[in-house]
């Protein structure tokens, strides 16, 4: 998207700028969970998303359900500290916002205060509209997340593409309209039939950010470890832009061999080892 600011210095993109990007260039979003990764991605992205996917990607859980608010806050704060350009959004984890608008506000306020992030993301459609309105009215911008909602994996029986039949298609479109009407500034559309993502993108006035959705969305997000090729298997919607798994495996293999054969470390990689300077000796 167009950043509409002279460079340098460039300030962090704001929620109103992202909201207005519906009419502009595509919005570039990647997940980030750590400071070093956030620092590398920052200049390339409009948003850095501290997704609760960190439960699976970083912590090795089977789902996002065990992720806690403290985990989100610790990783969110690291990503904010290491970035200065992208707008940072932090996921509200399962159980931290569904009980009531008041519960959602209390926990989202902690996220904003303790991380410095500008906004939060919550999974849900029409049933979450009242909560979204409650937070937005009290100063916390909300990004919604509809379609395949990983926090609903027990209800839907896994991670299945949504919107395949007329009834669920209509329900997801209604969800999109409800979260937009409630004041969400953008909505992630995950794992839905492409034509439905296209229809939603045309129907609502806020930006749609697709993942496993459609190129017609106003922006795209991927889990950074997926697009960097960290995993042997990934969903079909992932395009691998690197093979970090291969690079790391090759580097670790070489390191292990060199430690075992004694060629690492060399004298130059140790402190206080006197180098034999043949040139000086000859003089
Ligand atoms: O948790 C997450 O990382 C997400 C994105 C993949 C959309 O919700």
pLDDT grade for 283, boundaries at 50, 70 and 90: very low
Asked if residues 257 and 249 have their Cβ atoms less than 8 Å apart, the reply is no
Identify the pLDDT of residue 276: 61
Residue-wise pLDDT tens digits, 226-250: 999 999 999 999 999 999 999 999 9
Residue 8 reports pLDDT greater than 60: no
Residue 222 reports pLDDT greater than 50: yes
Q: Radius of gyration over alpha carbons of the chain, in Å?
A: 22
Asked if residues 35 and 79 have their Cβ atoms less than 8 Å apart, the reply is yes
- What distance in Å separates the CA atoms of residue 240 and residue 175, rounded to the nearest whole number? 31
Residue-wise pLDDT tens digits, 114-135: 999 999 999 999 999 999 999 9
Residue 137 reports pLDDT greater than 90: yes
Name residues whose C-beta falls within 8 Å of residue 242's C-beta, 6 or more positions apart in sequence: 227, 228, 229
Classify domain 15-246 by CATH number.
3.20.20.60
| Mutate which of 65, 120, 190 for ligand 1 pocket (most atoms within 8 A of beta carbon) | 190
% of the chain surpassing 70 pLDDT: 93
Mean pLDDT of 102-109: 98
Asked if residues 218 and 207 have their Cβ atoms less than 8 Å apart, the reply is yes
Identify the pLDDT of residue 63: 94
Cβ 217 under 6 angstroms from ligand 1 = no
CA trace torsion 214, 51, 31, 197 (10° rounding): 10
Residue-wise pLDDT tens digits, 63-101: 999 999 999 999 999 999 999 999 999 999 999 999 999
Nearest to 238 by CA among 248, 228, 250, 226: 226
Cβ 123 under 6 angstroms from ligand 1 = no
Residue 111 reports pLDDT greater than 90: yes
Q: Is the sign of the CA dihedral 56, 60, 62, 65 positive or negative?
A: negative
**Main-chain dihedrals φ then ψ at residue 66, nearest 5 degrees:** -75, -5
> Strand 27-31 vs strand 87-91: parallel, antiparallel, or unpaired?
unpaired
Asked if residues 26 and 68 have their Cβ atoms less than 8 Å apart, the reply is no
- Give the containing element (helix H, strand E) for 50: strand 47-50
Residue-wise pLDDT tens digits, 151-202: 998 888 878 888 888 999 999 999 999 999 999 999 999 999 999 999 999 9
Identify the pLDDT of residue 157: 81
Cβ 52 under 6 angstroms from ligand 1 = yes
Identify the pLDDT of residue 27: 98
Cβ 141 under 6 angstroms from ligand 1 = no
Both structure tokens of 56: 């699976």
Identify the pLDDT of residue 158: 77
Q: In angstroms, what is the span from residue 165 Cα to ligand 1's centroid? A: 24
**Main-chain dihedrals φ then ψ at residue 201, nearest 5 degrees:** -60, -35
Q: In angstroms, what is the span from residue 92 Cα to ligand 1's centroid? A: 11
For ligand 1, atom 2: residue with the closest CA:
51
- Give the containing element (helix H, strand E) for 177: helix 166-181
For ligand 1, atom 8: residue with the closest CA:
51
- What distance in Å separates the CA atoms of residue 55 and residue 157, rounded to the nearest whole number? 18
Identify the pLDDT of residue 162: 80
Q: What share of the chain is helix, strand, coil (3-state, %, to 5)?
A: 45, 15, 40
Residue 10 reports pLDDT greater than 70: no
User: What region does 202 belong to: left with phi over 0, alpha with psi -120 to 50, or beta?
Assistant: alpha
Q: Considering the chain, what is the average pLDDT of its residues?
A: 93
pLDDT grade for 7, boundaries at 50, 70 and 90: very low
Cβ 51 under 6 angstroms from ligand 1 = yes
For ligand 1, atom 1: residue with the closest CA:
51
Q: Hey, which residues are catalytic here?
A: 190
Q: In angstroms, what is the span from residue 131 Cα to ligand 1's centroid? A: 20
Question: What are the extents of the domains in the chain?
Answer: 15-246
């Amino acid at each position: 998207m167009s950043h509409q600011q002279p460079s340098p210095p460039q300030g962090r993109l704001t929620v109103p700028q992202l909201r207005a990007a519906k009419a502009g260039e595509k919005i570039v979003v990647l997940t980030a969970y750590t400071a070093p990764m956030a620092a590398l991605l920052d200049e390339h992205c409009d948003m850095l998303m501290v997704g609760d996917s960190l439960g699976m990607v970083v912590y090795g859980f089977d789902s996002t359900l065990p992720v806690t608010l403290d985990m989100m806050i610790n990783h969110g704060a690291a990503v904010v500290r290491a970035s200065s350009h992208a707008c940072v959004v932090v996921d509200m984890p399962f159980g931290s916002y569904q009980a009531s608008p008041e519960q959602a506000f209390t926990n989202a306020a902690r996220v904003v205060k303790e991380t410095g992030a500008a906004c939060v993301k919550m999974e849900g459609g029409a049933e979450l509209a009242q909560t979204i309105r409650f937070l937005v009215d009290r100063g916390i911008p909300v990004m919604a997340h509809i379609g395949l909602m990983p926090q609903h994996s027990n209800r839907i029986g896994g991670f299945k593409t949504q919107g395949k039949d007329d009834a669920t298609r209509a329900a997801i479109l209604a969800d999109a309209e409800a979260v937009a009407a409630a004041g969400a500034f953008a909505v992630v559309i995950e794992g839905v039939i492409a034509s439905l993502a296209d229809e939603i993108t045309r129907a609502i006035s806020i930006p749609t950010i697709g993942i496993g959705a459609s190129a017609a969305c106003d922006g795209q997000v991927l889990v950074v470890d997926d697009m960097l090729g960290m995993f042997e298997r990934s969903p079909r919607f992932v395009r691998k832009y690197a093979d970090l798994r291969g690079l790391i495996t090759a580097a670790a293999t070489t390191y292990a061999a060199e430690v075992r054969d004694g060629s690492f470390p060399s004298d130059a990689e140790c402190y206080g080892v006197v180098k034999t300077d043949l040139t000086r000796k000859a003089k």
